[in-house]
Structure 1
């Protein structure tokens, strides 16, 4: 009687290779904290340089951000108000200018602990996140802010004269731009969740009713104004990004 031998399936060497951590180096907790301290220190230096450089050229930046307001006159209602506005604009702009170097420091800190498979995903995530963030800034500057300001200027234009506080105006503009940039990160988050197998494209699509409700709430929360047009534009953009992210997750086979 012939004996039958059970054959063990061969191991997938490609998967094993992708799950390896190349150039793995053992580091103590103290070494990790020391490296983290250095990375944060370098990032703060880059931010300080960026803020200083933007403060030197802050007046052209202020004039650029005043363009959506059209012919509205801005007032300085308190001593030093424009100075503190300049600091705000330089601060936001400096962080934006230094963001590539900050991202580089973050990547260098987490890279040694990533497998080859995770490193393949890192490049597209960083690139996509950066592109979407700047796209969000552009969308806010070109669409959301002009729409909101047009609504406020036209409403009551025959009753009140348009004289605005420069501090309140820039608080509105900067908050709207950066909150929109953060909202544009939705597809990146979806791709990460899909890649990790936490949520599939089918599950994302099945909860579309909750997504619509969440987009409306998000548009109301992130929009510093209360006009329905701006909130609707932001909610529509969030929905478009979400369903676009579902499509990308589906194309990736998740």
Structure 2
């Protein structure tokens, strides 16, 4: 497609991955409270952390998780906190009983970008297992997109654009013609999440070029890019979805 995003190279290392691409097996442990009976050998917990991959139009915040901080609280004020970059950490003698587990994901800059939590019961002499899905924070981010095309080839330009969320909800984006062969859209109130952005260039109401991109918006960050059409179909021709 001729849609070229100016920041894509910057985020090449955040290419799309499957949700199971990063799994860290983590065993948590905490010091038993003083009330813990001496005959209780305690138990252990294995936490599987799953992260969500990024998309092609990305926020200016690095959303790749570099490390996880896994913390837990249990009976009698027992607690534990461990950091992992994907290796296995095993600690024994976790206080038996119900535990609440919180996982926070940090990028290379030490900024927390995702979190998840879960609950489980620890049994003496056994290893419990808990899967925690780590997801980006909810909230609003900024989406800023520019579209360009050969000005001489489009006499009466307009833009038809739609943003479709991962759950199928769609909203039309009102682009503004901002110059010769250029249109822009920006909103600081776009809900964080994963989307498909579809854009068409129209000439007197007829589509002459189009593109679609997977897009990710992060809370408190700006997702921006430029879709460049180096050529368009004449209004009398078929719509060309540039690749």
Q: Would you call these one fold, judging by a TM-score over 0.5?
A: no
Q: TM bucket by the smaller chain?
A: under 0.3
TM-score, length-normalised on structure 1?
Answer: 0.20
Structure 1 or 2: larger strand share? 2
Structure 1 or 2: larger helix share? 1
TM-score, length-normalised on structure 2?
Answer: 0.20
